[in-house]
Structure 1
Amino acid sequence: MTHAPILIGIGGWTFPPWRGSFYPEKWPQKRELEFASHALTAIEINATYHGTQKPASFANWAATAPDDFVFAVKASRFCTNRKILAEAAESIAKFVGSGITELGDKLGPILWQFMATKKFDADDFAAFLALLPATHAGMKLRHAIQVRHDSFHVPEFVAMARTAGVAIVYADSADYPAIADVTGDFVYARLENAVEDVATGYDDAALDRWAEAARTWAAGGAPGDLPYADPNQPPVKPRETYIFFINGAKVRAPAGAQALIDRVK
């Protein structure tokens, strides 16, 4: 079966409990990205959500990671945490122009995450999607949107995302709604339901299930056991697939990601 690349990783790379559990004992903190980027195949940069990073930082991160590594970048909260999304143009331009293109070929999707209290307003959300740039500094940009309110679980939202060419993030979460509809030319999943009493966060059966889902997405299909808002599925075509172990029992995220990488090889 032909399928697109499957890229699996974690959120960020600096987390003290990973020292000694993921990173070797006495491993230099300044070399943690070097280690993580060789142990995993992708990382979701979360620091960009909380504050503006320097272009030199993006360039340094790109230089540290191996050639086939990819960074997803979480957009600034100032773009998404607002009452009127249609007024986000200035914040979006500031974020996109902050230096993310310094990642070069290692720049993956941009994640736009919305607060759990943000409800679906069709006109305002359509206006926000229209503000997302297709390119910047000559580079193509790809966008993933994570919504966390039940009001988005409707065919109208799925159709809107497909028209805009953005991916709806599938979140495996105990707290937020799951929307598995494929809407972009790639798939973005966040596994947020890890438990600390399992060494890999997710047990073997769950990891096997996510490995099968990853292969299905990468081959262009839609896993049959996930919740969809629209019964209509897009044409089958291979899609680059991103899966991040994030939130939940964070200390287990690297082990979970590595276990899933082993399963999809």
Structure 2
Amino acid sequence: MAGGGKGDIRIGVSGWTYKPWRGNFYPSGLVQKRELNFAASQFNALEINGTFYGMQTPKAFRSWGAAAPEGFVFAVKGPRYLTHMLRLTNPEPPLANFFASGPLVLGDKLGPVLWQFPASFRFDAARIEAFFKLLPQDSRAAAKLAHRHDHRLKAPADYGDGGARPIRHAMEIRHESFRDPAFIALLRRYGVALVCADTVDWPLLMDVTADFIYCRLHGSAELYRSGYSDAQLDLWARRVGNWARGRASDGNFVSGPTDDGMRRDVFVFFDNTDKLMAPRDAKALMQRTGIAWPDEPH
């Protein structure tokens, strides 16, 4: 993106199907099939979690897309089969299956693809670079890759509408071995964003490695549980505003801060769900960063 000004800021939560949210975040009596509609009316982005746990279908993606308004974006989690089970060994077949399973039907609502790795996965430059080389950078490349799917699809493949839209990728790491300048250089070479993951359990790294920022707030004191205080939300709001304007000087870095003035889109997802903190904290951060959603018609 061009210099000056700021990029788009998108804030939401990770997933939307949580029983404790019913009657709390979700109004009493709201039927489950309307929960996504409600969540998409509160936030301008959501993470799709189901794609991490198992293969989905084009029908599922189509229904998710239809439930969200224009201008909304889904971040999609890549399958754990590839990241946790295969651990990037022979990644092309499952990667092709993933893109054939329906994410391309989201069209303009397809946001970044999140590749989340387990805490036991160590930095392996050769294995990671081989994976990065396979990652499609736009929807046409993704459709081409998807045509190489195997027999494991749960439904006929869908390759999207043939349009060429950029596809962004972000990588969340959870092992200290990634605190390595060689890893940061690899991310930058392939334009993959390093996920800023706020938790006491994993490395909190904030190096800017792509033309966008991806941040996941898991709970800074207790993983998945602790909420964010007003002071903490103020701090994150300042960081988000600076990131969108090309400045990342406050935080933990492997290769140093960034201050290039380049507008960057910013995606922030709260994952501190267990105590119902995520929706509240996400709304509070939206207010602090000046996001009104849905956008008022011009």
For the aligned pair, the TM-score class normalised by the smaller chain equals over 0.9
1:230-252 Cα distance to aligned partner (Å, 9 max, x none): 02637330100000000464521
Indicate if the aligned counterparts of 2:199 and 2:221 stay in contact, CA closer than 8 A: no
Cα RMSD of the aligned pairs, angstroms, is 1.9
Letter in 2 for 1:29: Q
Indicate if the aligned counterparts of 1:171 and 1:177 stay in contact, CA closer than 8 A: yes
- Among 174, 183, 187, the alignment partner of 1:148 is 174
Q: In the TM superposition, what are the counterparts of 1:100-249 in structure 2 within 5 Å? A: 100-135=103-138, 136-137=142-143, 138-193=164-219, 201-222=227-248, 224-231=249-256, 233=258, 235-247=260-272, 249=274
Distance 1:194 1:122 in 2: 29
Match of 2:69 in 1: 66
Match of 2:147 in 1: none
Letter in 2 for 1:15: Y
Distance 1:28 1:248 in 2: 20
Q: Is 2:69 the partner of 1:44?
A: no
Distance 1:84 1:40 in 2: 32
Match of 1:6 in 2: 9
1:150-200 Cα distance to aligned partner (Å, 9 max, x none): 00011110010000011000000110001100111110000011679xx99
Q: Percentage identity across aligned positions?
A: 45
Letter in 2 for 1:105: D
Distance 1:235 1:93 in 2: 35
1:216-243 Cα distance to aligned partner (Å, 9 max, x none): 0111110x33100102637330100000
Structure 1, unaligned runs of 5 or more: none
Indicate if the aligned counterparts of 1:86 and 1:125 stay in contact, CA closer than 8 A: no
SS in 2 for 1:81: helix
Count of equivalent residues: 262
Structure 2, unaligned runs of 5 or more: 144-163, 291-298
Q: For residues 205 and 44 of structure 1, do their structure 2 counterparts lie closer, same or farther at Cα, with a shift above 3 Å needed?
A: same
What is the CA distance between 1:98 and its match in structure 2?
1.0
Q: Is 2:58 the partner of 1:55?
A: yes
Q: For residues 250 and 41 of structure 1, do their structure 2 counterparts lie closer, same or farther at Cα, with a shift above 3 Å needed?
A: farther
Letter in 2 for 1:254: P
Indicate if the aligned counterparts of 1:207 and 1:259 stay in contact, CA closer than 8 A: yes
Distance 2:230 2:259 in 1: 30
1:42-91 Cα distance to aligned partner (Å, 9 max, x none): 10000000011110111111111111211000000111124652511111
Give me the TM-score of the superposition, normalised by structure 2: 0.84
What is the CA distance between 1:8 and its match in structure 2?
0.3
Match of 1:87 in 2: 90
Question: Which is worse superposed, 141-150 or 57-66?
Answer: 57-66
SS in 1 for 2:253: coil
